[in-house]
A and B are shown apart, each in its own frame.
Chain A
């Protein structure tokens, strides 16, 4: 095995063999850091890659604009907007789908495709089948995720209700679209492939079904490389305003695009934070292990110098110890990262529907990781080695002079007298090496912090779900009408089978303007007596609906930089499109989605309408769901139903795996970190104090008492690090959650005692296991023999 190897390299490998426990500890910690980095950077790279290729190849539009209806004759005007490369008008709508074997109706977004030519923008990626043939009625393309979920294949039929009319559509293809990579149902917070899908149909047929014959209600634009997106957007808005256009928004504000970008942003953050923690701890551990090695081998260094080895050769020899750790750490971490990345990317498939999303390792990041961990470890080793080779060989070969004994700056007289001698000795030892103790403590603090983060995230999500769908939205189901209805519609909804209680709501799309900031969203009118849909503050206490003003989501108020008392301009984009000002009367807490609420009467007054409703929140008898759903499916006026319980179900189905894996990985990291840090600390302490401990044995201490001195040191550190570690976990949770805040979802920072208890348990248990391992070593060590032998 060691044939042509130089004697120094043989020494290297034999010494490494003797400190393999410690090396393993360092390597594992380093590998963890690299694994996260390679995995997450690889995921970022994969998503970026799939995304840009998909968007480019399938010509995702740059600008989107929805309107009420404009005649097809306007197309020419639109195509003459300067700076556009392609303009496509289309028809969008919604349908409810009646899926055999499913109680509740499913929802679909309807999108038109040109009848007589292939689309120019947002090209479909066909998974199976063909595009509808020109002139053939009743043919539709179904989104692949939905088709897969329900086992639909080309040739199957599907029953849809569009604007109250029931049609039977024949599925001719299943497809993906760059516009719907993330299939967010309207008003939803995550994809729900069981209850929501996309249907593409021929333009003429769909326009007729939606009552838009000869017109369109959506425009998508590809801006030419020389065009200016902002001018294109304002031109579009100007031309289309008379036709009920809302804001023309860019690609980045498109919900699907936005979600993909947000995910990438989150991954980027963790791809830096975690590796940073792990690599710096690994660097410290390498440095501590090697400083100790260099100190132990001081005489050997003197010997090598005496034999004529140069400082450079000797420095290089010790540097190789660090390099072996780095090579192993990056090698193992890199390989694990590639493996984990290629597995983890599969978990993204249900969320992000790309034609292909495969793992693309980002080699530069692996290289960067190698460089970073090399640099940090070398920095750690440098001082020790430099100090050792700087000694003249004659000095190096003498035993190191004992350190000066200093009186500690802080003393605890009472403690000193009360505590057993082994405890006092442990404290003194810690105080003699404050830096080493500090770093070991830091490592333990991080080990404690990590499970805090994972449990807190889990708790936060649970709380968010609970807050949103049990405390704030207490209805069992929300039904939306196809067209705003009168009070008679309300009585009809209340009379649906199984309905115990009904509350109307009025939702109008509007542009909210605060100074030069604006946002497009729905203003919801609720009755002041509403008890199903409630507005809550941070502590989940209901806040009453203000009589005149607007109640605004705190999150939204922050982005608009406004507070209670400020005045907003509201430009309604429905009905008579009134523009009015309103005072912000209250701020409410909202974790999913952003809302703006008004008294339904006040809203109707501003709208200049009577008792109009957009839908109702219902309480439904749990035993009569099937009757309720059957009636809903039959009703031509109901456009959408959203059941509250489905949200939770969907969450568990969609996010469950992802969260479980995250939790497992984080706990594993915590165990690895605390075990490694303690083991490393114990080995160093053991080798440094072997003589002291042996002396204790001579003085008549038992083996267990001697072990207690050493373990005592580490136990003290573990306990001392616990509180800062929990605090660190709290801060880390804030930091990480802050990086995951999106417009549609915000996980509350909720570090509960459960998080602290779990973290403390994980760290204490793994600490005690490593104490056990170390104590066994001490007990087995022939301490008396040590005294006789020269080191």
Chain B
């Protein structure tokens, strides 16, 4: 469908004319871990991400995927380097602007389904629809992920896959321009994983969001427009798929 470039920074073809939605330049993240030691989780990452793209982040555990995703989503700030969303420099943004960015633009899905345990599925989604500007109705969002009939259940009354789908409904209810998913299927079995991925894919297609998915699973990569590999805090390679396989054809 799209003619993608072969690395994260230079963008031939169609993208050359487009402005990236999110772009990271020389992003470094260092965690101090002790008096003398430190962990360099990201080490000079450059990447541009475009509207309507579905990008998969691949890489071994500890390679910095989550750190990068958190920084892109405004959940964390880099030690050095810049991250821009359209014309806004997120690294310069204050807490208020970051909050607005998270509130209006980004949807997040985590590996451990992070829902508020004391709220029902519908109420968890309402957390977003309550504060977003043009949200999808919670019922509709839950309907989109196939949970129309489980809306009044508490997280503890839902299976892992159902919880993750509530998290997706919650993330998409705000009609995010950017949907960031950190190992969304990591804690799920294959069949449920497929359902979840299908839901994520639909957000990409139907809402036109930029979707970034972290996974350990190389097979998932086949549904993506681009596959970015991280290793040791650096981008090790970018592969562009010319044909995206439908999720139903995936097997692993």
Q: Tell me how far the C-beta of B42 lies from the nearest C-beta in chain A, rounded to whole angstroms.
A: 12
Q: Tell me how far the C-beta of B128 lies from the nearest C-beta in chain A, rounded to whole angstroms.
A: 6
Q: Does A165 contact B (CB under 8 A)?
A: no
> Which of chain A's residues has its CB closest to B174's CB?
A308
Q: Is the CB of B118 within 8 A of A309?
A: no
Q: Is the CB of A308 within 8 A of B75?
A: no
Give a binary string over A1-41; 1 marks a CB under 8 Å from any B CB, 0 the rest: 00000111011001100100000000000000000000000
Q: Does B89 contact A (CB under 8 A)?
A: no
Q: Is the CB of A14 within 8 A of B114?
A: no
CA gap between A81 and B104 in the complex, in Å: 85
CA gap between A397 and B108 in the complex, in Å: 13
CA gap between A393 and B77 in the complex, in Å: 10
Which residues from A are CB-within-8-Å of B106? 308
Which residues from B are CB-within-8-Å of A11? 116, 118-119, 123
Q: Is the CB of B96 within 8 A of A310?
A: yes
Which residues from B are CB-within-8-Å of A299? 114
Q: Does B112 contact A (CB under 8 A)?
A: yes
Which residues from B are CB-within-8-Å of A6? 126, 130
Known A-B contacts A307-B103, A310-B99; A7 and B75 likewise in contact (beta carbons under 8 Å): no
Which residues from B are CB-within-8-Å of A300? 116-117
Which residues from A are CB-within-8-Å of B110? 397
Q: Does A741 contact B (CB under 8 A)?
A: no
CA gap between A130 and B124 in the complex, in Å: 78
Q: Is the CB of A8 within 8 A of B114?
A: no
Give a binary string over B94-112; 1 marks a CB under 8 Å from any A CB, 0 the rest: 0110011011101010101
Query: Which of B66, B102, B117 touches A307 (beta carbons < 8 Å)?
Result: B102
Chain A: how many interface residues by the 8 Å CB criterion? 26
Which residues from A are CB-within-8-Å of B243? none
Q: Does A392 contact B (CB under 8 A)?
A: yes
- Interface residue tally on B, bucketed by range: 20 to 34
> Which of chain A's residues has its CB closest to B167's CB?
A303
> Which of chain B's residues has its CB closest to A791's CB?
B117
Which residues from B are CB-within-8-Å of A10? 118-119, 123
Q: Does B73 contact A (CB under 8 A)?
A: yes
Which residues from B are CB-within-8-Å of A397? 75, 110, 114
Which residues from A are CB-within-8-Å of B76? 392-395
Interface of A is mostly: helix
Q: Does B131 contact A (CB under 8 A)?
A: yes
Q: Does B170 contact A (CB under 8 A)?
A: yes
Q: Is the CB of A392 within 8 A of B77?
A: yes
Q: Does B127 contact A (CB under 8 A)?
A: yes
Q: Is the CB of A303 within 8 A of B102?
A: no
Q: Does B241 contact A (CB under 8 A)?
A: no
Q: Does A306 contact B (CB under 8 A)?
A: yes
Query: Which of A303, A309, A311, A392 touches B114 (beta carbons < 8 Å)?
Result: A303
Q: Is the CB of B112 within 8 A of A309?
A: no
CA gap between A305 and B98 in the complex, in Å: 10
Q: Does B192 contact A (CB under 8 A)?
A: no
> Which of chain A's residues has its CB closest to B114's CB?
A303
The residues of B with any CB-CB pair to A shorter than 8 Å are 66-67, 70, 73, 75-77, 95-96, 99-100, 102-104, 106, 108, 110, 112, 114-119, 123-124, 126-128, 130-132, 170, 174
Please name the 6 residue pairs, one residue from A and one from B, whose CB atoms are nearest each other, closest first: A308-B103, A394-B76, A14-B118, A394-B70, A308-B102, A394-B75
Q: A300-B117, A302-B75, A308-B100 are in contact. List 9 more A-B contacts (CB 8 A).
A: A7-B127, A8-B127, A307-B128, A307-B131, A308-B103, A308-B104, A310-B95, A393-B75, A394-B75
Q: 14 A-B pairs, CB-CB below 8 angstroms?
A: A6-B130, A7-B126, A10-B118, A11-B116, A303-B114, A303-B115, A306-B73, A307-B102, A307-B103, A308-B106, A308-B132, A392-B75, A392-B77, A393-B70
